[in-house]
Amino acid sequence: MSPFPSLIILFFFTTTLTLPPPSFSSSQTKQTFIIQIQHESKPSIFPSHKNWYESSLSSITTSQNTIIHTYDTVFHGFSAKLTQQEATNLQSLSHVITIIPEQIRTLHTTRSPQFLGLKTADRTGLLHETDFGSDLVIGVIDTGIWPERQSFNDRELGPIPSKWKGQCIAGKDFPATSCNRKIIGAKYFSGGYEATNGKMNETNEYRSARDSDGHGTHTASIAAGRYVSPASTLGYAKGVAAGMAPKARLAVYKVCWNGGCFDSDILAAFDAAVADGVDVVSLSVGGVVVPYHLDVIAIGAFGASHAGVFVSASAGNGGPGGLTVTNVAPWVATVGAGTIDRDFPADVKLGNGKIIPGVSIYGGPGLTPGRMYPIVYAGSNGEHSGEGGDGYSSSLCLENSLDSKFVKGKIVVCDRGINSRGDKGEVVKKAGGIGMILANGVFDGEGLVADCHVLPATAVGAIGGDVIRSYIAAHKSLSVGSLPTATIVFKGTRLGVRPAPVVASFSARGPNPESPEILKPDVIAPGLNILAAWPDRVGPSGIPSDHRRTEFNILSGTSMACPHVSGLAALLKAAHPDWSPAAIKSALMTTAYTVDNKGDPMLDESNGNVSSVFDYGAGHVHPEKALDPGLVYDISVYDYVDFLCNSNYTTKNIKVITRKIADCSGAKKAGHSGNLNYPTLSAVFQQYGKHKMSTHFIRTVTNVGDPNSVYKVTIKPPEGMVVTVKPDKLSFRRVGQKLNFLVRVQTREVKLSPGSSLVKSGSIIWSDGKHIVTSPLVVTMQQPLD
């Protein structure tokens, strides 16, 4: 893989934004660029836009440059590989606006329908009122699909919706007959990947929409998998597997390969999906947060949203630390992860009788019941590390770091980090270890993820890991001549777990690093230990040496949470065809809940404390309530433009995102960027010696409930602050009517050290006695650095 980022270039025949030339170590190094062009400017002498693009390339270089992708729906232009000098030549042209470094994105790696209250036996409700999402199309941008899985059968499905314009593109081990009335479209985009990495190795990945990873098959079946029974993974989680919208159609856009997911390919997938006629885009992929005009996912998602397509994206797995949330554009539904009321206990029993709770979905031959095995900490003896190893490498059970003489026949304690959890088990197994205990570090806290390990293994929290390591160290200091002992007790599947949901430890957290006035994530959904379909040629651990085969697998990540919301959005779109993407998101947010199944505030898995709005946003999705939210906060393209203007984006940068000339002259009437008509309210106060501070929010709600309804407000102010709402009563005469209200927040300076902040939250709740419409209100006080 090239050490240099690919770059995206955006063309318009307008004015020029002067930027420094892109930096490369070699003038002959070629990189991928994406060029955006003002479509209407095509000279008539060119029969097609592609001819025009090729002419544009030849005008700035004498070398042969092949077009990788052309874009004409959510984005106008093309992509190609260019040298430093060619990029500089392009930048000097009057119609070049900006050059954007391309990101290489990464994947954010069933009882959940029942946990969410979607029950097939009900004769009313979201599933039945929408015919299980039958005529809606969900576009999944991911690693492809394994079409033969029963989750994707088309039995009793009607004809393909007449609006559909997509195709089933044949490729390696993927004939056009792989599609059916369930999978109605399949395309793959590898131009950007191969432009940087060279021709793909077709012995270990498919040049087609077929999935060689498993991630895409899993996420597609979460969103729209059919009912399959019996379903389980290695005997765990037995029952019926089903997606959120079991009759919704699937369109697959493969953009992720062994080398990652490349922006030029992702943009091509967005372009194709919207042109094909999808209703929802599901994207469980992300990268670092950059301004929206430099973010291809944000740009593609804006074009999709403008076309009426709902875009759901994973929040990322960077939790539990703050400021880790990704995919934060306000026109994207950003989804974090929570637990469900099912887990897979596998406890560690130590020789001193202590029991350490753990989790696992190991399904092979277990340890002998009642027998205790020698236990060692992989990092306790650097002199025992394998070839090229050291104490640090061995503590993490990295490749070739373990000495087989030290670990053979023993249970090995490995620290979490660097390599994958499954890889650690394989390293232990290769070295002769009989089992593994995977211990969280301090940063991971108590959040546990169950894995299909290749040997008897379990995962324990940071506290449990410390107890186990202390036991090993104490036993060693006694010099009793015998080794410390332990065993792992696998207890299968446990249902009815309380409390649930809990915010998953890995789920990325706010505040929003790009737009602090927009609370992110938006919601959370089930994302821990989720059962869904799995390819036939990939072992459940995802390790090449794992030759076990299973129709379903259990995975965790915001990658799994995102398609839950994608499927729910399809159901809501089917129930309310006239709702915009913003209205659908509003319905999911204002009806979300923040208490668990014990009736207590939702907890944070990483530390057991009460979670916050930066962990879960508006809360955990509640599909049945979202069907009838009463009021929605709708947002137009013009509202987003005002938001970008008030966020200090230049008109040129706004045009990169919206493809339209922006007029910021009226944006100040909207007040500030926090006045975007968002279902949540977030205020940030900078304490520049001010003793009293205040701000206001203007919101517009649309009645989608009952005519002649009266909503009264309940204010739960953040502690120590004064919040007023005017008017305090909204009287609607008809469905579709819009009414405005103003929220004013007043606070006093608090004592903070330089550079620190204080966050307090409350809520604004409207109710007509039937509907409850909740908007979180979060206030951040920041003390500037001296």
Sequence-separated (6 or more) residues with CB below 8 Å from residue 123: none
300: Cα separation from own chain's centroid: 16
Token pair of 466, please?
A: 């410390």
Sign of CA dihedral 355, 358, 359, 361: negative
CB 303 within 8 A of CB 73: yes
CA distances from 633 to 580, 679, 698 (A): 10, 6, 11
CB 116 within 8 A of CB 623: yes
Catalytic annotation present for 142: yes
- The rounded distance, in Å, linking the Cα atoms of 624 and 126 is 6
Sequence-separated (6 or more) residues with CB below 8 Å from residue 269: 139, 141, 187, 189, 253, 255, 300
- The rounded distance, in Å, linking the Cα atoms of 655 and 662 is 6
What is the Cα gyration radius of the chain? Answer: 27
Q: Strand ranges (DSSP E) for 73-165? A: 76-82, 96-101, 104-107, 137-142
- The rounded distance, in Å, linking the Cα atoms of 333 and 692 is 34
Sequence-separated (6 or more) residues with CB below 8 Å from residue 266: 105, 141, 189, 255, 283, 285, 296, 297, 300
116-150 exposure pattern, b = at least 16 Cβ within 10 A, e = fewer: bebeeeeeebbbeebbbbbbbbbbbbbbbbbbebb
Pick the catalytic residue from 69, 95, 108, 142. 142
Is-cis flag, bond preceding 113, omega within 30?
no
- The rounded distance, in Å, linking the Cα atoms of 333 and 678 is 12
- In this structure, are strands 411-415 and 373-377 parallel, antiparallel, or unpaired? parallel
Give the DSSP letter string of 190-259. -HHHHHHH-S--TTTS-SSSB-SSSHHHHHHHHHHPPPEEEEEETTEEEEEE--SSTT-EEEEEE-EETT
- The rounded distance, in Å, linking the Cα atoms of 313 and 287 is 12
Which helix (H) or strand (E) segment is 394 a member of? Answer: helix 391-395
- The rounded distance, in Å, linking the Cα atoms of 639 and 438 is 49
| C-beta neighbour count of 176 within 10 angstroms | 11
Pick the catalytic residue from 559, 566, 612, 763. 559
Catalytic annotation present for 673: no
Catalytic annotation present for 559: yes
DSSP single-letter state for residue 754: T
Q: Looking at this protein, which amino acid is placed at residue 780? A: T
- The rounded distance, in Å, linking the Cα atoms of 469 and 360 is 20
Token pair of 69, please?
A: 């992708």
Q: Is 773 left (phi over 0), alpha (psi -120 to 50) or beta?
A: beta
Which of 285, 268, 263, 275 shows the shortest CA–CA distance to 309? Answer: 275
Helix (H, G, I), strand (E, B) or coil at 718: coil
Sequence-separated (6 or more) residues with CB below 8 Å from residue 332: 297, 298, 301, 305, 311, 312, 313
- Distance in angstroms between the alpha carbons of the first and the last residue of the chain: 43
- The rounded distance, in Å, linking the Cα atoms of 576 and 366 is 51
Helix (H, G, I), strand (E, B) or coil at 185: strand
Pick the catalytic residue from 215, 218, 453, 771. 215
CA distances from 404 to 395, 492, 495 (A): 14, 30, 39
- The rounded distance, in Å, linking the Cα atoms of 590 and 622 is 10
Q: Hey, which residues are catalytic here?
A: 142, 215, 559
